[in-house]
């Protein structure tokens, strides 16, 4: 979906389409914000229209944006992707863990029994200062490990759970070479160029582009049944051209697995790589909201009515 700023792309794709598809699927509207801004959302829900065809190819709706994958340091790359569940299973299955009746919950820093009591699994404590904002300091008990000493005694192939969380995706990929379940998630994360991230890196410390790629990687690692509609509004904003390439590879992967990807996009390189382009406009505000031209990138590039056409033509060979 292309068009000048203010032409109505987001209104159509991120609002109307999302609402109508969700309604047809009988879903709750996927929330854009975790904090429910009720007032704002009720205003948004005034758009109309209906879907006349095409729903047979759509069973699921997913929005992928650059918003954080979590708002607290309790969520991280490993928990979000589900990879940590499998890692915890491996720890719980060790001889030492079974002898002590430590289950998978024991290896979660969100569950009381295994985590450090002082910091409740946060790894740091807040220090109150008189007249000053409180500051965070490493936990004096676990020194950032997040777990209690008993939990840390359990090792899987010579590493405890805190050491595993400290590994980068690349290092973990080598370490878990014989664990296909874990390896699957790690491989996808590497493919999207996130091999340098630590498994335990808090969600709050990730960049927008990283958060977006983690969301896509999480989708890519699913057993693909196809028939999912992915909606992305300006996914390349702020991305380096090399990262745009990685994003395009992932989106291609989703399409190849039988899914549909709709994106609002200003990057003509991405537009040129699409199967179908819909140009909205012709102008902004009251001058917008109509389909100016729709077709293959080459067809749209040849349109005399579209303000996108000359820019697309530069890229379409």
Residues engaged in binding ligand ATP (CB under 6 A): 3, 5-11, 284-285, 288
Query: Would you say how long the chain is, in residues?
Result: 317
- Does the protein bind Mg ion through residue 181 (CB under 5 A)? no
Instruction: Write the binding mask 3 to 42 for Mg ion: x where contact by CB under 5 A, - elsewhere.
Output: -------x--------------------------------
Those residues with Cβ within 8 angstroms of residue 114's Cβ, 6 or more apart along the chain or in another chain:
102, 105, 106, 107, 108, 147, 148, 150, 151
Strand spans (E) along 243-302:
260-264, 277-281, 290-295
Closest to 115 measured CA to CA, from 153, 149, 160, 77: 149
For ligand ATP, the closer CB: 89 or 266: 266
- Write out the two tokens for 250: 């992932």
Strand spans (E) along 41-100:
60-63
- Does the protein bind Zn ion through residue 263 (CB under 5 A)? no
Other C-beta atoms closer than 10 Å to the C-beta of 102 total: 20
Q: Are 7 and 289 in contact (CB under 8 A)?
A: yes
CB of 11 to Mg ion, least distance (A): 8
- Does the protein bind Zn ion through residue 141 (CB under 5 A)? yes
Among 47, 118, 126, 207, binds Zn ion (CB under 5 A): 118
- Does the protein bind Mg ion through residue 257 (CB under 5 A)? no
**DSSP 8-state symbol, 14:** I
Other C-beta atoms closer than 10 Å to the C-beta of 127 total: 10
Among 13, 87, 97, 139, binds Zn ion (CB under 5 A): 139
For ligand ATP, the closer CB: 48 or 285: 285
- Does the protein bind Mg ion through residue 94 (CB under 5 A)? no
CB of 40 to ligand ATP, least distance (A): 9
CB of 265 to ligand ATP, least distance (A): 10
- Does the protein bind Zn ion through residue 142 (CB under 5 A)? yes
CB of 129 to Zn ion, least distance (A): 20
For Zn ion, the closer CB: 142 or 280: 142
Buried b (16+ CB within 10 A) or exposed e, 24-54: eeeeebeebeeeeeeeeeeebeeeeeeeeee
CB of 3 to ligand ATP, least distance (A): 5
CB of 32 to ligand ATP, least distance (A): 13
CB of 233 to ligand ATP, least distance (A): 7
Q: Are 227 and 60 in contact (CB under 8 A)?
A: yes
Interface contacts to Zn ion, rule CB under 5 A: 116, 118-119, 139, 141-142
Interface contacts to Mg ion, rule CB under 5 A: 10
């Amino acid at each position: 979906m292309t068009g000048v700023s203010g032409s109505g792309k987001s209104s159509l794709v991120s609002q109307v389409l999302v609402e109508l598809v969700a309604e047809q699927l009988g879903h709750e509207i996927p929330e854009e914000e975790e904090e429910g801004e009720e007032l704002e959302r009720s205003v948004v829900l005034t758009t109309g229209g209906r879907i006349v065809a095409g729903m047979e190819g759509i069973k699921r709706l997913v929005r992928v944006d650059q918003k954080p994958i979590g708002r607290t340091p309790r969520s991280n790359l490993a928990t979000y992707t589900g990879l940590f569940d499998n890692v915890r299973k491996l720890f719980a299955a060790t001889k030492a863990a079974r002898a002590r009746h430590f289950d998978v919950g024991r290896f979660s820093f969100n569950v009381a029994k295994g985590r450090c009591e002082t910091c409740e699994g946060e790894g740091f404590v807040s220090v109150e200062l008189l007249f000053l904002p409180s500051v965070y300091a490493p936990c004096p008990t676990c020194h950032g490990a997040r777990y209690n000493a008993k939990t840390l005694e359990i090792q899987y192939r010579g590493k405890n759970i805190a050491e595993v969380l400290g590994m980068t995706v690349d290092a973990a990929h080598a370490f878990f070479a014989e664990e296909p379940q874990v390896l699957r998630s790690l491989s996808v994360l590497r493919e999207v160029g996130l091999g340098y991230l630590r498994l335990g890196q808090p969600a709050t410390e990730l960049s927008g582009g990283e958060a977006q790629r983690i969301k896509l990687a999480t989708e890519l690692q699913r057993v693909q049944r196809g028939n999912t509609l992915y909606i992305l509004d300006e996914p390349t904003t702020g991305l380096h051209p090399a990262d745009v390439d990685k994003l395009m590879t992932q989106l291609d992967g989703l399409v190849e697995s039988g899914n549909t990807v709709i994106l609002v996009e200003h990057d003509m390189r991405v537009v040129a790589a699409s199967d179908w382009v819909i140009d909205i406009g012709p102008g902004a505000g009251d001058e917008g909201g109509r389909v100016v031209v729709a077709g293959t990138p080459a067809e749209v590039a040849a349109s005399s009515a579209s303000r996108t056409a000359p820019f697309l033509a530069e890229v379409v060979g």
